[in-house]
Amino acid sequence: MIQIGSYLKVVDNSGVRFAYCIRVPGGYKRRYARLGDTLTVVVNRLRKRRRQYSKLKQGQIVTGLIVRTKVNKNYFFNDRISFLENSVILISKKNQLFGTRIFGLLPKNLRYSRFMKLIILAKGLKS
């Protein structure tokens, strides 16, 4: 579960290394976001070698999609999914990716969302 003030690792090649959550949209006083939700984040730190070529700059406010969380996601058939880190992918207001690649595996439940293009760019799926 991600809340306001959480530091997130960015797992695409947009040039951003870490982002900071500033808002969890989706209702009055909503506190937590889970796997597959969108957030409003601030670019916190850029990658050293991509700083000159990055579309994003430090302090810029963008939207992010949560793709990994440390907290378990439980399914009805007694299956769990969890990762070692909290990570996010940066997207624009029109749901377009800033990067062209995604590093690592993505959860399988993103297949049934409106972000189907992410599945194509990822290395694989984790059930």
Share of the chain above pLDDT 70, in %: 99
As a whole number of angstroms, the distance between CA 122 and CA 95 comes to 16
CATH number for the 7-126 domain, one of 2.40.150.20, 2.10.25.10, 1.25.40.20, 3.20.20.70?
2.40.150.20
Q: Are 42 and 20 in contact (CB under 8 A)?
A: yes
As a whole number of angstroms, the distance between CA 33 and CA 51 comes to 29
Residue 7 confidence (pLDDT): 95
Tell me what the mean pLDDT of segment 86-96 comes to.
Answer: 91
pLDDT at 127 over 70: no
Q: Domain ranges in the chain?
A: 7-126
101-123 pLDDT per residue, tens: 899 888 877 777 788 877 888 77
pLDDT top residue among 116 and 22: 22
CA angle 23, 120, 59 (to 5 degrees): 30
